[in-house]
Amino acid sequence: MRRAILALLLLALVVSSLPAVAQQPDVQVRLFSLYHFSSLNVGQAGDSAQMRMCRTCTPVKIGDPLQLSARGDSVAVSGQAVRVVRMRGSIRLQAPGAPEWNVSSPLTVRARRGELVVVASMPMEEYVAAVVQGESAGAMPSEALKALAVTVRTYATRFRPRHQLDGFDFCDSTHCQHLKPTSQAAVRHAVNATRGELLWDRGSPAAAFHHQDCGGKRASAREVWPDVDGRYLDAREDPYCLRAKREWTSTISNNDLQRALAASGIQLPKGWSRVAIARRTASGRAGLLRFDSASGRGPEVSASALRFAVGRSLGWNVLKSDLYDITQSPEQITFTGRGSGHGVGLCQLGAIQMATEGKSYREILDFYFPGTKLGVSAQGIEWKKISGNRVDLFIPRDGKDVELLPIAERLLREAEQRTGLSVANRPAIRIYATTAMFRDATGEPGWVAASTRAGTIRLQPVAVLRRRGQLESSLRHEFFHLLIETHARAGLPLWFREGLVLYLTGETTPAPRRLTPDALERTLSGRENASALRDAYAQAAAQVADAVRTYGERAVIDWLRTGVPTSFTAGG
């Protein structure tokens, strides 16, 4: 059934356009995030490229290479200083010291304290392809690439606000997810084959981390991020990665290690001569390191802090993970370890091995994220059922919205009395715990209060509807929908069904124009812009109100069974 368009829409208090069902907003990605530069060369990479220097300015074609430069918090373009430059088309970007990028996504360029900040607006599936390419170079079997694509998409959905305070969603480095602008055919195939699929944990996107190589022992999420609740991310052996394990060895002099730690603000006491692993994590990784001297036990430093300090000063491939043993001489320390990365979630090396052994991407995801559910809409929601005399109420397992049951029973009784109709089966009402969960499970945009499908009314959280003043009106609207759709004969026009609901609920406004019956039906059945759809619903309601004035309410309701008479047509 079509979504309920409430008075909120009819009063034009809605977003400017209707989003496609289950379509995610574009991902805002900062490019060149590891580089600092005050100038940028921009040119065409294809047939056309345009830029604007304000939202209402006429687009200007980018022809010859153009240089943008930062002046404080302004961007200088051909001597003119502006706050932001917006670009579209096939664009080539060249920043000093950075690899060249060819980008087809819309771009914005701003300046911040004398440096340029470039942000690309990428559709989710395009972003997923860029990350899968960046993280794997496409060098994985097809099923492993599919598993990685789902993992990347889920991570992006779950952690989208990561850089919200910086004005974008993600950076393009391994701090978020590393990406490459041009993807191979195998990568694009994997992304298209899993389009829209996410991993779900009790109705919310899972914390789908991934890494290159766990060394045969996966780490729990809490080892790395203590605030992440991921029951499917426990420490455990990985036999697939173990069969393909690779060891590494790195030797660091005492002086280099001390300098690296000092550069990260970690000061060691003079005279330390020995490093010992003071504590290991549940997965066997180094957790704390102790620096001892001849005079006794020294201070402790977290292994992750040491690895990041070494990475920033000596290179990120020196200590690839925290899964290591230590041997040492008076002047240097040797780390012998396995794995690469934090070890949480999907292990790419293990996924490759599983795919090589004939496992599907679903089996790979089930192994690395046990207990999660795969789907394009929210899965695995835990419900508690409460039954009344006429209605079954489903609330989140830990929810407290039982008080809605008597309200629902009353509104159903009133709707039946008003129409003279009755429901054939017990209506079910599902109340979602959050607006995000409602949106993810139903495919409806967040401003929609409720919708009905197959005899089930889906509601936003009760607290949200109360705050909007829409709780009873939303339920009343959906009960009328339920009654009308239950009794409507096959082929009854959508404009009449929708208009009758709006008439019965009193959600009518003056219709600004009249459409032919076919045009009205096409508008309501399609995905027009909000203004056209609002007008069509207003006209549908007005047509039903006209019919009631002419034929009487009882007769018009009977049209559900007999059909709309030819003597009365919408727009006539």
Q: pLDDT per residue over 479-530, tens digit each?
A: 999 999 999 999 899 989 999 999 999 876 666 667 777 778 888 877 556 6
- Are 20 and 527 within 8 A, CB to CB? yes
Residues 440 and 493 in one domain: no
Residues 129 and 204 in one domain: yes
Q: Could you give phi then psi for residue 117, rounded to 5 degrees?
A: -120, 120
DSSP lists the bridge partners of residue 77 as 68, 80
SS3 for 460-487 is: CCHHHHHHHCCHHHHHHHHHHHHHHHHH
Give pLDDT, residue 7: 41
Give pLDDT, residue 1: 44
Q: Is residue 21 part of a domain?
A: no
Residues 32 and 77 in one domain: yes
Q: Is residue 9 part of a domain?
A: no
Residues 156 and 254 in one domain: no
Residues 196 and 67 in one domain: no
Alpha carbon distance 478, 455 (integer Å): 10
Question: Which stretches in the chain have pLDDT values below 70?
Answer: 1-23, 508-513, 527-530, 569-572
Give pLDDT, residue 525: 78
Give pLDDT, residue 443: 84
What's the whole-model pTM score? 0.81
Residues 237 and 263 in one domain: no
Give pLDDT, residue 10: 39
Domain of 518? Answer: 488-562
Residues 83 and 157 in one domain: no
Give pLDDT, residue 6: 42
Q: Is residue 19 part of a domain?
A: no
For residue 42 the two structure tokens come to: 């921009």
DSSP per-residue codes, 287-317? EEEEEEETTB---EEEHHHHHHHHHHHH-TT
Last residue of a domain, one of 97, 122, 147: 122
- Are 497 and 484 within 8 A, CB to CB? yes
Residues 362 and 233 in one domain: yes
Give pLDDT, residue 539: 87
Q: Is residue 558 part of a domain?
A: yes
Give pLDDT, residue 2: 43
Helix residue spans in 65-179 (DSSP H): 124-136, 142-158
Q: Is residue 440 part of a domain?
A: yes
The total of other beta-carbon atoms located within 10 Å of residue 302's CB is: 15
Give pLDDT, residue 444: 84
Residues 133 and 113 in one domain: no
Cα-based distances in Å from 444 to 1, 129, 239, 380, 465:
12, 25, 42, 18, 15
Last residue of a domain, one of 122, 138, 153: 122
Residues 103 and 168 in one domain: no
For residue 246 the two structure tokens come to: 């690779």
Strands 39-52 and 84-94, sheet pairing:
antiparallel
Give pLDDT, residue 272: 86
Tell me which residue has tokens 């001569």: 273
Last residue of a domain, one of 122, 146, 171: 122
Give pLDDT, residue 392: 95
Residues 211 and 148 in one domain: yes
For residue 168 the two structure tokens come to: 């974008």
> Considering its fold, how many domains does the chain have in total?
5
Residues 98 and 217 in one domain: no
